[in-house]
Amino acid sequence: MIINIYGTPIAQPRYHTGKGFSYIRKTSKGKQHPIIGFKERIYWACFNAVRDLDHYPLKGGVYVELDFIFKRHKGIPKNQKYKTTKPDRDNLDKAVLDAMNGIIYVDDAQVCDGPIRKLWGDEAQVIIKIEAIDD
């Protein structure tokens, strides 16, 4: 199954702790962090992709291939394929895998294989390829 989510990929921010609970800091202007909206878009795209399928959420091992495509701006040469600057690849991965919990698979700990790429492209998006792994 392949799912596309259009818009700029957003990395999972670091959680902060205080007074006995964890939280994501709001932006400097006091607004909700953009990761919340990004995860909601992923959630609903996945929900709509599997809502009529009986075998989801997957129970065994899962292969997830993630392509994070960032819009190429004027300063990036056309021959440069990979994005080598922030955000970090592992934080992008964490945001997407967390958002798919309970819909694509029971828990993101089931994801045991699959590449993660940060690429430049004409349109910002996340391309998710999901397959069940048969043991």
Per-residue pLDDT of the chain in tens (135 residues, 90 and over written 9): 999 999 999 998 866 566 776 555 555 565 777 888 999 999 999 999 999 998 899 999 999 999 999 999 999 999 999 999 999 999 999 999 999 999 999 999 999 999 999 999 999 999 999 999 986
- Spatial separation of the C-alpha atoms in residues 10 and 38, rounded to whole Å: 7
The pLDDT, as a whole number, for residue 109 is: 96
The pLDDT, as a whole number, for residue 29 is: 60
Q: Which domains, and CATH codes, for the chain?
A: 2-133 (3.30.1330.70)
Cis amide leading into 87 (omega within 30): yes
- Spatial separation of the C-alpha atoms in residues 66 and 112, rounded to whole Å: 13
User: Is residue 94 within a helix (H) or strand (E), and if so which, with residue range?
Assistant: helix 89-99
- State CA 119 to chain mean position distance: 14
